Amino acid sequence: MNETNKESQGIHPTAIIDPGARLGQGVSVGPYSVIGPDVVIGDGTVIQNHVTITGPTTIGVENVIYPYASVGHDPQDKKFKSSETSILEIGDRNRIRECVTINRGTEDGGGYTRVGNDNWIMAYVHIAHDCIVGNDTVLANNATLGGHVTVEDRAYLGGFTAAHQFCRIGRHVMTGGHTMIAQDVPPYVVAVGNRAKMFGINKVGLERYGFTKEEIKGVEKAYKMFTRGRGKTEDTLSEIEQALGEIEPVRNFVEFIRKSERGVCR
């Protein structure tokens, strides 16, 4: 890319952009940022100064990536080989703050790391290989996701939250600062501590996102039935379904626990 084209696209003359990269309309790239081959950046995305992006990486529209972020580098996995299929996909309208690191996937994990839309990813967050992050999440400063972690829509991870490999964090979960997650965290709950324990449902969050009173009461009752159950987990889940199965969030709660392979925090 010559200097005239750089200036016309809002690209600083000190930025280094590989000829194999593809930038959409209105993309801006700040001073000293480096964009490697096999990188696709959607319209209106802003890359600020000192950002490094390598590929294969696809970034959607209207994202903002702040200084010193490292996006799309090799996974931190000793088994990884450069010949593997390894891709990072980032959706639209995300805010990726200072010093965030997001790694590509590995073949063992399906080859993909994916970040959805409208996420707020704060300073020093690490998203490891093969993670799946949904939409409209908040990952506060220094939150760390080990490999193969799934974070569902509208989860809120407090500062310094750390999730062990292969854990799943359900939708509308809220974690406290310095929480260590070693097992799955079911949807709609508040989890705190090392190791994470559940402390009720995220009632305020559910109200803010427009859940009805019936839905919130149903989730709260399902949570109490689950945490106070003394029999087999499947028997308790069946009881919850029988009593509250017509409420969609309750069905989500039950299905998440039923699919858990690591077990859920208590």
Residue 129 among the catalytic residues = yes
Looking at 92, 130, 153, 184, which residue is catalytic?
A: 130
- Averaged pLDDT for residues 219-246: 96
- Averaged pLDDT for residues 1-10: 54
Q: What is the DSSP string of 167-191?
A: -EE-TT-EE-TT-EE-SBB-TTEEE
- In the chain, residues under CATH classification 1.20.1180 are 207-258
The pLDDT tens digits for 80-137 are 998 888 999 999 999 999 999 999 999 989 999 999 999 999 999 999 999 999 999 9
Confidence band of 153 (pLDDT split at 50, 70, 90): very high
User: What single-letter amino acid sits at 65?
Assistant: I
- Averaged pLDDT for residues 22-44: 97
- Averaged pLDDT for residues 167-189: 98
- pLDDT, the chain, mean: 95
Predicted local distance difference test score (pLDDT) of residue 83: 87
Predicted local distance difference test score (pLDDT) of residue 252: 98
Looking at 134, 147, 158, 159, which residue is catalytic?
A: 147
pTM: 0.95
- In the chain, residues under CATH classification 2.160.10.10 are 3-148
Q: Is the peptide bond before 93 cis (omega within 30 degrees of 0)?
A: no
Residue 38 among the catalytic residues = no
Long-range interactions of 216-224: CB distance < 8 A, separation 24+: 218/244, 218/247, 218/249, 218/250, 219/188, 219/247, 219/249, 219/250, 219/253, 222/250, 222/253, 222/254, 223/188, 223/189, 223/198, 223/253
CATH fold group of domain 207-258: Udp N-acetylglucosamine O-acyltransferase; Domain 2 (1.20.1180)
Give every CB contact of residue 41 below 8 A, 6+ residues apart in sequence: 21, 22, 23, 24, 27, 35, 47, 53, 59
Predicted local distance difference test score (pLDDT) of residue 85: 87
CATH of domain 3-148: 2.160.10.10
Residue 147 among the catalytic residues = yes
Looking at 73, 126, 129, 164, which residue is catalytic?
A: 129
Confidence band of 8 (pLDDT split at 50, 70, 90): very low
Helix axes 248-258, 233-244, angle to 10 degrees: 170
